[in-house]
Amino acid sequence: MSNVVLYIATSLDGKIARTNDQLDWLFEVVGQGDNGYADFFQTVGAVIMGRKTYEEVLRLEDNHYPYANIPNYILTRSPDREAEHVTFTDEPIEQLIERLKQDIDGDIWLVGGGEIIKAAMAHDLIDSYEIAIAPVVLGEGISLFPEGTKEKKLKLTSQRASGQFVMVTYEKA
């Protein structure tokens, strides 16, 4: 059965983006190769992200969608939109993930943003938290775990340096 994996980068102070959704700070940090991204992506069978995250991915990739070869679900309050390679949906995250676990091969990559992560944690849906910590303090921005996120006990299963990043993996305790 598929696992739900939160695979994400954060600043040292727990921000996943600037207040304006920008990720420029992240690309200024020197990693080691792709920090293990290619190996991770080989395990992914579907992608879930929020609309703002989707729009930032498109902006960063100059409107070339990088995950076009697997099913993609964009959670939004306005699911009547259409775009190549993605499905916009307002399906509750717990129903979407339950359905995907039955339908896909591979893991489900929960990309973000913060409110999607919060909703997934409220329903105890995340199996693994793979977090790249960048040595940057933003001071303000979008929190990895927004105010009101359900408390969760986790178990550290691995950690390693990758250039200036610290890569940590936590699983359900």
Per-residue HEC secondary structure of 119-137 comes to HHHHCCCCCEEEEEEECCC
Angle at 76 between CA 74 and CA 77, to 5 degrees: 160
pLDDT band at 119 (very low <50, low <70, confident <90, very high): very high
What is the arithmetic mean of pLDDT over 45-57?
94
Q: What is the pLDDT of residues 66-87, one digit of tens each?
A: 999 999 999 999 888 888 899 9
pLDDT at residue 164, rounded to an integer: 95
Kindly tell me the sign of the dihedral angle through the C-alpha atoms of 85, 88, 146, 139.
positive
> Cα-flanking dihedrals φ and ψ of residue 66, to 5°?
-80, -10
What is the arithmetic mean of pLDDT over 1-23?
95
3-state secondary structure of 66: coil
Domains of the chain with CATH codes? 4-172 (3.40.430.10)
pLDDT band at 1 (very low <50, low <70, confident <90, very high): confident
What is the arithmetic mean of pLDDT over 103-123?
96
| Cβ contacts of 123 within 8 Å, gap of 6 or more | 93, 94
| pTM of the predicted structure, to 2 decimals | 0.94
What is the arithmetic mean of pLDDT over 94-123?
96
